[in-house]
Amino acid sequence: MIFETVGQHGHEQVVYCSNREVGLKAIIAVHSTVLGPALGGLRMWPYATEQEALNDVLRLSKGMTYKAAVAGLNLGGGKAVIIGDPSRDKSEGLFRAFGRFVNSLGGRYITAEDVGIDVNDMEYVFQETEFVSGVHQVHGGSGDPSPFTAYGTLQGIMAALAVKFGHEDISRHAYAVQGVGHVGYHLAKLLREHKAKVFVTDINRDSVQRAVDELGCEAVPLDQIYDVDAEVYCPCALGGTVNMDTIPRFRFKVIAGAANNQLATDECGEEVARRGILYAPDYAINAGGLMNVAIELEGYNRERVMRMMRTIHYNLSRIFKIAERDGITTAKAADRMAEERIATIGKVKLPWMGSAKPHFKGRTR
């Protein structure tokens, strides 16, 4: 069953990590190393079953392959998940044990922070392996990638506005931001700095209140975010919120947010297009965080990161043109763009097998 599941997604390697003494149950998935070593975040989540965790890490790691390809990075796609409640199950031993598993892969997989993980957790991982990106600035790293993911998402929103409305004036529209955690809060802040009206919701009431008090956003109950009078829907929480139950409720004209796996199914992408809603493919618009941590491989430079992030606007513009030209959904256009780059590079190099370790320039441990 496991080999069958893994084979369906075309993964190169899946590693189960267990350490009973510290309560570690984790899975590392390396989807592709055709373009370079697999880079992708570590997520900690209280999955109901191990199968649910496996499904998530397989889906997310494949998304990272496509994200890196569309972003023009020389990196493959990977992801890791720890089964546990981030509010109560974290410990130094847990993350150091995970770090040892990452190190055992010899650089085929480079980890970073994701949902449920912060830069302090990465510090423990970093004590056991150099194959960590997004470490604290004191080590020459980039720190929290969330503000960069949000900034890149803003670039993508502007590209979508240009296609849908013929302008890039953020202030002329209202936005429904679902999830105001690390990335969502920063996106809401950027939108408010442009004088836009912003509706927010989150399972964490404190996060919502912070966005209301500090940014002047308007709070709405969780399930009502799909009904608000806004032109742009910005999913910034977990995936699957664009589905056959929510789509009929949308008054949105654009879907452009930072969450992964926003479309519950491929059919949802077709339905969104049928209704005339412009979808900015998730792994293309939310690539800012990946770009930020990828720069650590070459020596971190914030100015270079900000320049690179503006390519998200260009990439999305290309995807929208491909979709229109070929008569396909924007989701399929993004996949086509990624797959063509992987196929092209694959003709000139074999998958990365660790013959030359990734080198993080300017980093100290």
The conformation of residue 352, written as its DSSP 8-state character, comes to: P
Is residue 79 part of the annotated active site? The answer reads yes
Catalytic residue among 25, 62, 67, 79: 79
User: In the prediction, which pLDDT does 300 show?
Assistant: 76
Domain annotation for the chain: domains and CATH numbers: 2-63+77-132 (3.40.50.10860), 146-341 (3.40.50.720)
pLDDT averaged over 10-residue windows placed end to end, the chain, 365 residues? 67 96 97 93 95 93 94 94 96 98 96 88 94 76 81 97 98 98 95 98 96 98 96 93 97 96 94 97 93 80 85 96 95 94 81 60 65
The conformation of residue 78, written as its DSSP 8-state character, comes to: E
User: In the prediction, which pLDDT does 304 show?
Assistant: 86
User: In the prediction, which pLDDT does 101 show?
Assistant: 98
Residue 340 contacts residue 35 (beta carbons within 8 Å) = no
CA distance 70 to 365: 32
Whole-angstrom Cα Rg for the chain: 19
CA distance 27 to 29: 6
Residue 86 contacts residue 113 (beta carbons within 8 Å) = no
Q: Which residue type occupies 244?
A: M
User: In the prediction, which pLDDT does 305 show?
Assistant: 84
User: In the prediction, which pLDDT does 5 show?
Assistant: 65
Q: Which residue type occupies 204?
A: N
User: In the prediction, which pLDDT does 146 show?
Assistant: 87
User: In the prediction, which pLDDT does 350 show?
Assistant: 62
Residue 60 contacts residue 40 (beta carbons within 8 Å) = yes
User: In the prediction, which pLDDT does 346 show?
Assistant: 81
With CA atoms as reference, report the closest residue to 328 among 272, 249, 258: 272
H-assigned helices in 216-301 = 266-274, 282-285, 288-294
Which residues make beta-bridge pairs with 201? 178
The conformation of residue 172, written as its DSSP 8-state character, comes to: G
CA distance 250 to 139: 45
Provide the token pair at 2. 């496991």
